[in-house]
Structure 1
Amino acid sequence: MQVIGLCRFSYPAIGGFQVEHDSIEARIAYLYAEARLEERFRLFETLALPCLREQTDQDFDLIVVIGNSLPPHHEDRLRALVADMPQVQIRKEPPRKQREVMKEILNQARRDPKQPCLQFRHDDDDAISVDFVERLRATVTDCRGLFRNHKTAAVDFNKGFVAEVSADGISATEVFRPFYVAALGMYVRGGCPLTIMNFAHERIPRFMPAVSISDAPMWVRSHNGSNDSRQKPVKAIEVEPLTPAQEGEFEARFAIRRDHVASVFSSS
Structure 2
Amino acid sequence: MRVQMLGLCRFSYLGLRGYQKDHSSIEERRAFLYDPDRLARRWQWFTTLALPGWLAQTDPDFTLVVMTGPDLPQPYLSGLQALSRVNPWLRLELVPPMDRHLEACLAAIAPHVDPQADVVGHFRHDDDDAVALDYVATARRDFAAVQALWQAEGRLSLDHSRGLMLRAGAGGADFVPRIAHNMGVALTIFLRPDAEKTALHFNHTRLPMWMPCVSVTRPLMFIRSIHADSDSGDMGPGLPWEIAPDALDRQLSRRFGLDRAVLDDLAKAVSRKDSAGRSC
Is the aligned partner of 1:144 residue 2:147?
A: yes
* Residue equivalent to 1:106: 109
Matched, 1:255 2:257: yes
Using the size of structure 2 for normalisation, the TM-score is 0.85
Q: Contact 2:16/2:23 (CA < 8 Å) preserved in 1?
A: no
Q: What's the CA shift for 1:63?
A: 0.3
Tell whether the 8 Å contact from 2:113 to 2:193 is kept in structure 1 after alignment.
Answer: no
Tell me the residue number matched to 1:16.
18
- For 2:66, what is the secondary structure of its paired residue? strand
Q: Does 1:192 align with 2:195?
A: yes
* 1:174 and 2:177 aligned: yes
Q: Deviations over 1:18-39 (max 9, x none)?
A: 1111211110110111111111
Percent sequence identity over matched residues? 31
1:36/1:190 CA distance change after superposition, 3 Å: closer
Please list, as runs of the form range in 1=range in 2, the aligned pairs for 1:54-203 lying within 5 A after superposition: 54-81=56-83, 83-96=85-98, 97-112=100-115, 115-165=118-168, 169-203=172-206
Residues in 2 aligned to 1:257 and 1:31: alpha-carbon distance in whole angstroms: 29
Q: 1: CA distance between counterparts of 2:48 and 2:170? A: 12
Q: Deviations over 1:189-230 (max 9, x none)?
A: 243323322211111221000111112221111011211112
TM-score by length of 1: 0.89
Aligned to 1:205: 208
Structure-2 residue corresponding to 1:27? 29
The CA distance in 1 between the partners of 2:10 and 2:88, in whole Å, is 18
- Taking the aligned partners of 2:12 and 2:6, their CA distance within structure 1 comes to 19
8 Å Cα contact 2:157/2:212 also seen in 1: yes
| Contact map agreement 2:84 2:92 (CA 8 A) in 1 | no
Secondary structure of 1:178's partner?
A: coil
Task: Judge conservation of contact 2:95–2:107 (CA < 8 Å) in 1.
Answer: no
What are the ranges of 5 or more consecutive residues in structure 2 without an aligned counterpart? 238-243, 274-280
Give 1:151 deviation, angstroms.
1.7
Aligned match of 2:240: none
Which one-letter code corresponds to 1:179 in the other structure? Answer: N
Rounded Cα–Cα distance in structure 2 between residues aligned with 1:144 and 1:8: 29
1:28-47 paired onto structure 2 within 5 Å: 28-47=30-49
Displacement of 1:169 after TM fit? 4.8
Where does residue 241 of structure 2 map in the other structure? Answer: none
Task: Provide the rounded CA distance (Å) in 2 between the counterparts of 1:77 and 1:263.
Answer: 22
Q: Aligned pairs, how many?
A: 263
**Greater shift after overlay, 242-251 or 35-44?**
242-251
Matched position secondary structure for 1:230? coil
Structure 1 residue corresponding to 2:247, chosen from 245, 248, 253: 245
Tell me the residue number matched to 1:216.
219
List structure 1 runs of 4+ shifted beyond 4 angstroms.
165-169, 262-268
Q: Distance in 2 between matches of 1:218 and 1:155?
A: 12
Q: Which runs of 5+ in 1 are unaligned?
A: 236-241
Query: What are the Cα deviations for residues 132-153 of structure 1, in whole angstroms up to 9, with x where unaligned?
Result: 1111101111112221111211
Secondary structure of the equivalent of 2:75? helix
